Chain A
Amino acid sequence: MSVMIEAENVRFTYPGAASPALDGVSVAIERGAFTVVLGHNGSGKSTFAKMCNAVLLPDEGSVSVEGMDTRNEELLLAIRQRVGMVFQNPDNQIVANVVEEDVAFAPENLGVPPDEIRRRVDASLHAVGMDEFVTHAPHLLSGGQKQRIAIAGVLAMRPDCIVLDEATAMLDPMGRREVLSTVRRLNREQGITVLLITHHMNEAEDADRVLVMDDGRIVMDGTPKEVFSRVEQLRDTGLTVPETVELLDRLCQDGMPMPLDALSVDECADAIANALARKG
């Protein structure tokens, strides 16, 4: 598997800040992978996300996208076309007065032919479940709907990689599920690399890989099962564990031995039912 984004010993300090936001981050994000980055506020995860399409540049070390160094200004357009970003606040990302025009903004600027723009706009809005809002005014939509429009706007660029920087934070559970299943489908069916930055532990459950950041460093790196069964270490970094693991961990402490890697609701219920059956 080839590498989509590679960070090598990246250090970065915001102007005037006392301590670095990134303090030696080295990681390779593989093409086609679904990677989730977890960390508390101020852990450096959003700074890392912004390094991935050259919104920020490293003070030391380097970041490359498909082998292109983000510090090379001539490659900026190519890099941003490959890696699309979706931010937390949809209101800051919407530029047009009609939904379809907003989604068409990026392909128009990339010089895509009109027929192709039409196809991309329709397909992108369909992918985020907003087909029926094509001619609506974005300002009359709810926050969750606006965010789905913003995601459609990125999809219309046909990027190789999408970075979602807490893009689900303002959505309701249904909107969040829709966005997540959309990015998962794009990942699975079209092979788009996904880097999802979040505080919501449950969003990491079926990722290929979970990175946990703390103090500007990557402190945990593994599959969801590997990462979430390290309950104490997660708590030490200011994170919680999914309720399934929380329950299993408590039952262990109550003297009922339980596997801590039964992450999904069904796995967790199976583990509990089995333990009770054994006892009987």
Chain B
Amino acid sequence: MESILQIRHLTHTYSIGTPFERDAVRDVSFEVGRGEFLGIIGHTGSGKSTLIQHLNGLLRPTEGQVLLSGRDIWAEPKKIRDVRFRVGLVFQYPEYQLFEETVYKDIAFGPVNQGRQGAELDRCVRDAARLVGLREDQLDKSPFELSGGQKRRAALAGVLAMEPDVLILDEPTAGLDPVGRETLMENIRAYHREQGKTILLVSHSMDEIARNVDRILVMKSARILMDGTPPEVFSRSEELLSAGLDIPHAARIAIALRRRGLDIPPDVYTVDALEREILRLRKETVPC
């Protein structure tokens, strides 16, 4: 797979020269393939937020490089704005950043700054609204008339409207209720399917990560602890737990069943797979 992002020996040190000096990210290297859906997990303070803010040039590495399509994003610091158009970062609680009179204008803010206008502008605004599941009649409303979940969608649409090559989502479903979480993730999955764009998803919800991504990076104490597919990472559940991380609930149940002597394979980490395995065991125990 062709790499869209290459992170090479990235280190970021906060408060250099003060008693609070510390490395938030230390010598981290990885690549992200074009079209990949990558999950990033790690507990609070592990460095994941600092890491993602380097990927669109909001933070500058203390050491190391970030390459976008093979080019160091800081090669020409004056052109860093172009990097921000190509790598869209949706912060936590993005609805706090809504400010325009109408939802339409708010979504259009990014693309207008990119220099889009007329029919082209209208198309990317409406496409973005459709991708996040906002209705046409909601576009003329004030963003502040929307419900919490709809505001979140409007803010997400504002980034999608710039049609970035890479979309980075920091805890996109935090604070939403279970139905809101699932419908928003369905929109994000559909966007990934339809557009084939690269997505980086930062989430604390292991269940959300388990259900959605192709590959997982596990961060711990400013470094990468694991890098692999969900079955690879979650088969190391015991290791994740001892590193103070969470694992999907189904993986917890699987561990408890194994402790009771049941033969559940190590790579079972979803309720679906667990259900299949239990039914298989049930069949096998039926007396002939």
Indicate if the CB atoms of A256 and B178 lie closer than 8 Å.
Answer: no
Which residue of the partner chain, among A143, A166, A242, A279, contacts B282 with CB atoms under 8 Å? Answer: A279
* B residues near A199, Cβ cutoff 8 Å: 176-178
Known: A173-B245, A173-B246, A247-B274. A254 touches B279 (CB 8 A): yes
Q: In B263-288, which residues have CB < 8 Å from any A CB? A: 271, 274-275, 278-279, 281-282, 285-287
Asked whether any CB of chain A lies closer than 8 Å to the CB of B130, the reply is: no
Given A142-B44, A272-B278: A243 touches B178 (CB 8 Å cut-off): no
Q: Which of A238, A268, A269 contacts B179 (CB 8 A)?
A: A238
| A250 and B271 within 8 A (CB) | yes
A172 to chain B minimum Cβ distance, whole angstroms, is: 4
Whether A145 lies near B256 (C-beta < 8 A) is no
> Do the beta carbons of B286 and A279 come within 8 Å of each other?
yes
B95 CB, min distance to chain A CBs, angstroms? 11
**Cβ-Cβ contact count across A and B, 8 Å cutoff:** 125
Min C-beta distance of A240 to chain B, whole Å: 4
- A9 in contact (CB, < 8 A): no
Q: Which residues of A in the span 222-280 have a Cβ within 8 Å of any Cβ on B?
A: 238-240, 242-244, 246-247, 250-251, 254, 256, 265-266, 268-270, 272-273, 275-276, 279-280
Q: Kindly list the 6 A-B residue pairs having the minimum CB-CB distance in the complex, ordered from nearest.
A: A269-B256, A173-B246, A243-B249, A144-B44, A40-B177, A280-B285
Is B44 a contact partner of A171 (Cβ separation < 8 A)? yes
**Residues of B contacting A243 with CB < 8 Å?**
207, 248-250, 253, 271
Which positions 173-207 of chain B face chain A at CB distance < 8 Å? 174-180, 204, 206-207
Partner of B256, one of A136, A238, A265: A265
With contact pairs A41-B180, A142-B49, A254-B275 given, residues A272 and B246 touching in the complex (Cβ less than 8 Å): no
Give the distance to chain B from A68, nearest Cβ to Cβ, in Å: 32
Chain A interface category by residue count:
35 or more
Q: Are A238 and B177 in contact (CB under 8 A)?
A: yes
User: Could you tell me how many residues of chain B have their Cβ less than 8 Å away from some Cβ of chain A?
Assistant: 47
**A89 beta carbon closer than 8 Å to chain B:** yes
A279 CB to nearest B CB, Å: 5
Give the residue name and chain of the B residue nearest to A242 (CB): B249
Are A166 and B175 CB-contacts (below 8 A) given A140-B20, A246-B271, A247-B253? Answer: yes
Q: Which residues of B lie under 8 Å from residue A172 when comparing CB positions?
A: 43-44, 204, 246
Chain A residues proximal to chain B, CB less than 8 Å: 39-42, 88-89, 136-137, 140, 142-145, 166, 169-175, 199, 201-202, 238-240, 242-244, 246-247, 250-251, 254, 256, 265-266, 268-270, 272-273, 275-276, 279-280
Contact of B253 with A41 in the complex, beta carbons under 8 Å: no
Is there contact, CB below 8 Å, between B180 and A269? no
Any A CB within 8 A of the CB of B79: no
Chain A residues, CB < 8 A from B252 = 265
Q: Mark B54-98, 1 if CB is under 8 A from A, else 0.
A: 000000000000000000000000000000000000001100000
* Residue ID in chain A nearest B252 by CB atoms: A265
Q: Are B176 and A41 in contact (CB under 8 A)?
A: yes
Specify which of B148, B256, B257, B271 lies most central, judged by the most chain A CB atoms within 10 Å of its CB: B256
Q: Which residues of B are found within 8 Å of A250, using beta-carbon distances?
A: 271, 275
Q: List CB contacts (< 8 Å) of B33-60 with chain A.
A: 43-45, 49
A222 to chain B, nearest CB (A): 20
A266 to B207: give the CA distance in the assembly, Å. 19
Q: Is B14 an interface residue (CB 8 A)?
A: yes
